[in-house]
């Protein structure tokens, strides 16, 4: 393989990586209005560029604002929006876990969302209400 071919392949891979990064940003931006309407705010946000780019965000909100019926409705209505549905399913799971440990008083919830290959969602329960969460009733 010649150096010219190697450079061409590297440029092609870099272009595909940039396309993935743009796709992830678009999906994240598309999900933000619903995320905010559910009372969550973005605490941290980062973009990593490499062979496989990744977008990470930390979303925080009040656990008492989780309405499981509303989550189900939003999931059914937005099946084509993968990032949003992933976030909503993480909230569903968090609610179900909270219901299984009723003696522990949680006030806040933190969702660590990573868009990349593979995607990852982490849920953390907070003993205090996050100071930067937005108290909004409906999405």
Specify the pLDDT at position 6. 53
Does residue 132 fall inside a structural domain?
A: no
Does residue 46 fall inside a structural domain?
A: yes
Whether residue 102 is predicted with pLDDT greater than 50 in this model: the reply is yes
Domain that holds residue 82: 3-126
Pairing of strands 54-62, 120-126: unpaired
Lowest-pLDDT choice from 32-36, 38-42, 129-133? 129-133
What is the count of structural domains for the chain?
1
- Rounded to two decimals, the pTM is 0.73
Does residue 108 fall inside a structural domain?
A: yes
Specify the pLDDT at position 54. 85
Question: Is 24 in contact with 48 (CB distance < 8 Å)?
Answer: no
């Amino acid at each position: 393989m010649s150096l010219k071919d190697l450079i061409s392949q590297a440029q092609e891979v870099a272009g595909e990586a940039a396309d993935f990064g743009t796709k992830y940003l678009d999906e994240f931006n598309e999900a933000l209005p619903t995320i905010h309407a559910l009372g969550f705010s973005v605490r941290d946000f980062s973009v990593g560029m490499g062979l496989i780019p990744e977008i990470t965000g930390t979303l925080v909100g009040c656990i008492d604002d989780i309405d499981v019926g509303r989550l189900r409705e939003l999931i059914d209505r937005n099946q084509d929006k993968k990032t949003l549905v992933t976030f909503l399913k993480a909230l569903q799971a968090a609610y179900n876990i909270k219901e299984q440990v009723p003696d522990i008083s949680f006030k806040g919830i933190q969702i660590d969302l990573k868009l990349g290959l593979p995607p990852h969602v982490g849920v953390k329960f907070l003993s205090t209400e996050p100071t930067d969460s937005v108290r909004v009733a409906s999405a």
